[in-house]
Amino acid sequence: MSTVKELPRDVPVLDEVDVLVSGAGVSGCAAAASAARAGARTLLVERNGFLGGVATASLMANIGNRFLTSEGKRVVRGFAGELVDRLVDRGAASPGWEHRDVPGCTIDPEKLKVVLLEMLDESGVEILTHAVAAQPIMDGNRVRGVFLESKSGREAVISSATVDATGEADLAYRAGAEVTWDGGSASIIFKMENVDIDSLVDFIAEDPGGFPGGVDWVKDLDTFLNNWRERGVFFFPHGGGRSWRFFQGEIERGGFEREIDPATGLDALGMYGFRGNGWVVVNSNFYRIEDLDVRNLSRFELHAQKMCYRVGEFLIERIPGFKDSHLSQVGVDLGVRTSRAIIGRCALSRESLFDPPGPFHADDVIGVTSSIDSERASGEFFHPFTCDVPFGIMVPRGVEGMLVGSAKSVDTRPRGIIRGMTGCMVCGQAAGVACALGARDGVGPGSLPVRNIQRKLLEQGAYLGPPERVRSLGLI
């Protein structure tokens, strides 16, 4: 590859802050609000013109229900718990979501933008939109801030501590952190307006044997029906289209392709919504992510926009409940599931989350999520146990002054096992708190005594375990 030399130049300093957060997805919002609530002067920078990341830019209208154990006990609290409660209060989520049979809290992405903005405004966070944290400012191996690119040109922000909430560990990678790669898939979601969900659900119920039970944490048809009819949550399993007998039969009749290069999985057909809106979002195209080359990502993103209309038109033509609907919105960002991630101080393993003989405990716990039954033999997908999320998975090797706040790019084995919005908010809150305390004490956030971080998280309402567990850590 040929190169050109970039000449040295003086870059104006836009601001000096305690904590800078790059990326305003739910992890970045959790980090920024929590840092500000911990007393830090906090700046959040976002490349889009709104907050929410994948949840809004990609229309992912479902917060995975890792909040509850199989016994229905809420074990995710703090910022994440506050957000879902506010969404329910604002009519942006169904009040019936909090049940173990509900795989996810389906939400209104447009209202989410405003709810997040209100939480950040109340916390005192300064926000820059249409600004990209292009490069970390380095002092040896320590991050001292970032160079921003925006309509104002190239500017610098000096920060005592930085949170990388980009989702792909962009800043950590450019700062020299040890990273790893795990190629995954990406897609763009679209919204269908004026859907007769009652008619759609009734039609699905007419063929019990053709329903994709056991897919995407939907146990069976009865659970699917109860979630809609009793709880107002429409959650048709992602990937369910591939094994929904009626849908596959319609494809066999012709007029629709499951793959149109480079897209695959056009029949995946995950669908989410909740009572009172008359719309559903549809997740039904995949692109294989082998790298983060901007040319490939651009090709996929633009192709996906066309595929959204291909799938949407087929739904209108063939699927009951969609006859009078129309495609009203296409996500503006390609949602990348897994890609680049850091190698952290420690890793969270699959066995700790999916196959626990009991609760997984970590001395440096910063949050808790429900454990999942990978075998699903009993039809009960969730264990009564919990899985501690360790602080060390967010601490990048080889870099000081920075934490990674997105659960997509922290150190888990395999990658992405807590990548959903629930895990992102747990990690984001802890990253924000740790960076605020590090800025206050003049030390890198990764060097703080973890008990200090845990105490502040408890003050902010995070759940680190039952009282006896918290007592064993010396926190009460």
CATH of the domain at 43: 3.50.50.60
- Asked, for residue 102, whether it belongs to a domain, the answer is yes
Across the range 127-133, mean pLDDT stands at 98
Within this chain, do residues 349 and 330 fall inside the same structural domain, yes or no? no
How sure is the predictor about 380, in pLDDT bands with cuts at 50, 70 and 90? low
How far apart (Å, rounded) are the C-alpha atoms in residues 423 and 54? 14
Within this chain, do residues 271 and 172 fall inside the same structural domain, yes or no? no
State residue 304's pLDDT score.
97
Across the range 305-328, mean pLDDT stands at 97
Strands across the sheet containing 233-236? 233-236, 270-274, 279-283, 190-193, 326-330
Q: Taking a C-beta distance cutoff of 8 angstroms, is the pair 279, 195 a contact?
A: yes
- Asked, for residue 4, whether it belongs to a domain, the answer is no
- Asked, for residue 191, whether it belongs to a domain, the answer is yes
Within this chain, do residues 159 and 191 fall inside the same structural domain, yes or no? no
Tell me which of 336, 352, 383 is where a domain ends.
336
pLDDT tens digits along 20-60? 999 999 999 999 999 999 999 999 999 999 999 999 999 99
Within this chain, do residues 414 and 448 fall inside the same structural domain, yes or no? yes
Within this chain, do residues 285 and 390 fall inside the same structural domain, yes or no? no
Within this chain, do residues 199 and 305 fall inside the same structural domain, yes or no? yes
Domain boundaries, position 136: 13-182+341-472
Kindly state the tokens that stand for 86: 């506010």
Number of domain units in the chain: 2
- Asked, for residue 7, whether it belongs to a domain, the answer is no
On the CB side of 398, CA atoms within 13 Å amount to 11
State residue 378's pLDDT score.
46
pLDDT tens digits along 268-315? 999 999 999 999 999 998 999 999 999 999 999 999 999 999 999 999
Rg for the chain, CA atoms, rounded: 22
Task: Answer whether the bond into residue 466 is a cis peptide, omega within 30°.
Answer: no
Torsions phi, psi of 145, nearest 5? 150, -165
pLDDT tens digits along 335-364? 999 999 999 999 999 999 988 888 999 999
- Asked, for residue 3, whether it belongs to a domain, the answer is no
pLDDT tens digits along 170-229? 999 999 999 999 988 999 999 999 999 999 999 999 999 999 998 988 989 999 999 999
- Asked, for residue 8, whether it belongs to a domain, the answer is no
- Asked, for residue 2, whether it belongs to a domain, the answer is no
Within this chain, do residues 197 and 294 fall inside the same structural domain, yes or no? yes
- Asked, for residue 1, whether it belongs to a domain, the answer is no
State residue 376's pLDDT score.
54
Within this chain, do residues 162 and 254 fall inside the same structural domain, yes or no? no
Within this chain, do residues 23 and 155 fall inside the same structural domain, yes or no? yes
Within this chain, do residues 86 and 124 fall inside the same structural domain, yes or no? yes
Tell me which of 336, 363, 396 is where a domain ends.
336
pLDDT tens digits along 234-260? 999 999 999 999 999 999 999 999 999
Residue 379 has pLDDT above 60, yes or no: no
Residue 233 has pLDDT above 50, yes or no: yes
Q: Taking a C-beta distance cutoff of 8 angstroms, is the pair 361, 385 a contact?
A: no
Tell me which of 336, 356, 381 is where a domain ends.
336
State residue 225's pLDDT score.
98
State residue 382's pLDDT score.
75
How sure is the predictor about 375, in pLDDT bands with cuts at 50, 70 and 90? low
Q: Taking a C-beta distance cutoff of 8 angstroms, is the pair 422, 76 a contact?
A: yes
Residue 24: CB atoms within 10 A of its CB come to 30
**Rounded to 5°, angle at Cα 368 from 366 and 374:** 135
How sure is the predictor about 383, in pLDDT bands with cuts at 50, 70 and 90? confident
The pTM of the whole model exceeds 0.95 = yes
State residue 297's pLDDT score.
96
Q: What mean pLDDT is reported for the chain?
A: 95
Within this chain, do residues 235 and 256 fall inside the same structural domain, yes or no? yes
Within this chain, do residues 43 and 136 fall inside the same structural domain, yes or no? yes
